[in-house]
Amino acid sequence: MIQVHHLNHSRSQRILWLLEELALEYDVIKYYRDLDTELAPASLKKVHPLGKAPILVDDGVKLAESGVIVDYLAQRYGKKERHSSAHEADFCSAENLLLPEKESQAWWDYGYWLHYAEASLMPPLLLRLVFDKIKSAPVPFFIRPIINKIVASVDQAFLHQQLHGQLSYVADHLSCHQWMLGERFSAADIQMSFPLEAAMSNKKLADCYPRLNAYVQQLHARPAYLRALAKGGDYCYGPKSESE
């Protein structure tokens, strides 16, 4: 039986979603964040030294990091048998539900978006979270103006440009595609969901990027997504410090 070590309000929610898309049976081992620190409990470190989620255990294989888990599940369990007839001879071939044909352009596009989600899109979102926390952190009143000035300077010189550059790039791509790989939903959409959910949870960003907001609504409307929410429990869109 597949096991998912699942932390609430984290990236591990999309692993539950993928398992629901694949109609697989699995057990969810739940962990809850500390209400004060928002950090994962120390008990997760008994499963993986970094104490982060998701962690997947399947038939003796233990995996961390969302990207490799998504790829593993899609490649191992995504195939279905497709029957057809040609020249009066029946034949059967395998089709992957969530991945394009290997070595095709779409296959390399899938690999690109799989890695892009965490390597390029998430960093400016996490930086924005960090700076927002700095702005709201309790400090002596005479230091507050200095902190606000530093945060504003970094935002103007670097963070604003990086964040909007990434979001504009994805919005432009989706302006002529229904899903990340075109007209077909894929594992790339599942991997891209978390950073875009985090971005669109900010009303100003959602208003700036209506196509991204509509895309996130498309994801949320999928039956498997809704089933995963029922399995995983409360899910607050947006990055948290102790999700993987």
58 beta partners: 61
Query: How buried is residue 42: exposed, middle or buried, by Cβ count under 10 Å (0-12/13-18/19+)?
Result: exposed
Q: Is residue 95 part of a domain?
A: no
Query: What is the pTM assigned to this prediction?
Result: 0.87
Beta strand residue intervals within the chain, DSSP E: 2-7, 26-31, 55-58, 61-64, 79-86, 89-96
Q: Is residue 26 part of a domain?
A: no
Q: What is the pLDDT of residues 16-34, one digit of tens each?
A: 999 999 999 999 999 999 8
Specify the pLDDT at position 142. Answer: 64
Q: Is the pLDDT of residue 241 over 50?
A: no
Share of the chain above pLDDT 90, in %: 70
- Let me know: does 66 contact 59? Beta carbons within 8 Å: no
Task: Please state the separation of Cα 217 from the chain's center in Å.
Answer: 14
Specify the pLDDT at position 79. Answer: 86
Total count of domains within the chain: 1
Q: Is the pLDDT of residue 102 over 90?
A: yes
Q: Is residue 60 part of a domain?
A: no
Cα–Cα distance measured from residue 56 to residue 22, given in angstroms and rounded to the nearest whole number? 15
Which is more confident, 84 or 10? 10
CATH number for the domain harbouring residue 167: 1.20.1050.10
Q: Report the candidate in 3, 23, 42, 6 with the shortest Cα–Cα distance to residue 233.
A: 6
In terms of residue numbers, what domain contains 182?
101-222
One-letter amino acid identity for 100?
Answer: P
Of 32-41, 184-193, 207-216, 220-229, the range with the lowest mean pLDDT is 32-41
Q: What is the mean pLDDT of residues 189-206?
A: 96
Specify the pLDDT at position 87. Answer: 45
Give me the chain's average pLDDT, please: 88
Which residues 6+ apart lie within 8 Å of 195 measured at CB? Answer: 117, 118, 121, 122, 125, 239
Dihedral (C-alpha) 201, 195, 122, 37: value to the nearest 10 degrees? 60
Q: Is residue 127 part of a domain?
A: yes
Q: Is residue 39 part of a domain?
A: no
Confidence class for position 237, pLDDT limits 50, 70, 90: low
Look up tokens 């927002």; give the residue: 132
Q: Is residue 152 part of a domain?
A: yes
Q: Is the pLDDT of residue 111 over 90?
A: yes
- Let me know: does 124 contact 163? Beta carbons within 8 Å: yes
Specify the pLDDT at position 128. Answer: 81
- Let me know: does 114 contact 71? Beta carbons within 8 Å: yes
The full length of the chain comes to 244
Specify the pLDDT at position 146. Answer: 66
Specify the pLDDT at position 224. Answer: 98
Q: Is residue 105 part of a domain?
A: yes
Q: Is residue 65 part of a domain?
A: no
Cα–Cα distance measured from residue 109 to residue 130, given in angstroms and rounded to the nearest whole number? 31
Q: Is the pLDDT of residue 183 over 70?
A: yes
Q: Is the pLDDT of residue 120 over 50?
A: yes
Q: What is the pLDDT of residues 127-173, one digit of tens each?
A: 888 777 777 777 676 677 766 776 677 777 678 899 999 999 999 99
